[in-house]
Amino acid sequence: MKSLPHKGQLTTWKDDRGFGFIKPDDGSKEVFLHISVLKGAGRRPIVGDTIFYEKTIEANGKIRASKASIQDVINQPTVLTKRSRNSNQDFNKESTVKRIDGNTPINKRDMRKLARKLIPIVFLIGLGMSLISVAINSVRGCNIKGNISASTGIKLYHLPNMEDYATTNIDASKGEKWFCSESEAIANGWSKAPR
């Protein structure tokens, strides 16, 4: 590691806000330290740490540290989150499932949240489509339900006054349908339900 020109002891550290102050060894004025200048530090600083830093004077005359490190704390290498086009190495597999574009990682946790939000929406869309289908058929006057028996596979039609009419559901994806008259149902090969 390149030697930094100034050295001092951390006298104040506000961990929740990520800043503190260094008392320089040369006895000069306290120096402001922000967590962002401790790039790659293996841990967060604590009061009493010896800090090596470069000094920067801002336009308003305040002195702050730049390019700082903590004595006896090994810097962590920065992890690359992108890979070159020719590289086969993986990048941050644990947190990134896929990328929508070159900059936006989607975390597994985010995907689970999204799925939890979408499931009720998909359910409501399906329910709405089912209700629309019922409404359209009743507007047309087609209120005879053509249902395929799950146990026998026989095509049965149900009239509005039959016992099972209210509990009979029509699933068009299984070939079930609505009829406007009994003669239409019979002509299409459907038999009258027993009750």
- The pTM assigned to this predicted structure is 0.38
Instruction: Report pLDDT digits (tens) over 105-123.
Output: 667 778 888 888 889 998 8
Q: Which CATH superfamily is domain 6-70 in?
A: Nucleic acid-binding proteins (2.40.50.140)
Domain boundaries, the chain: 6-70, 135-192
Spatial contact of 26 and 14, defined as CB atoms under 8 Å apart: no
pLDDT tens digit sequence for 134-170: 656 555 678 899 999 888 999 999 998 888 888 888 8
Give 180-193 as a DSSP string: SSHHHHHHTT-EE-
Indicate if the pLDDT at residue 93 is higher than 50.
Answer: no
Number of helices and strands (H, E) in the chain? 2, 11
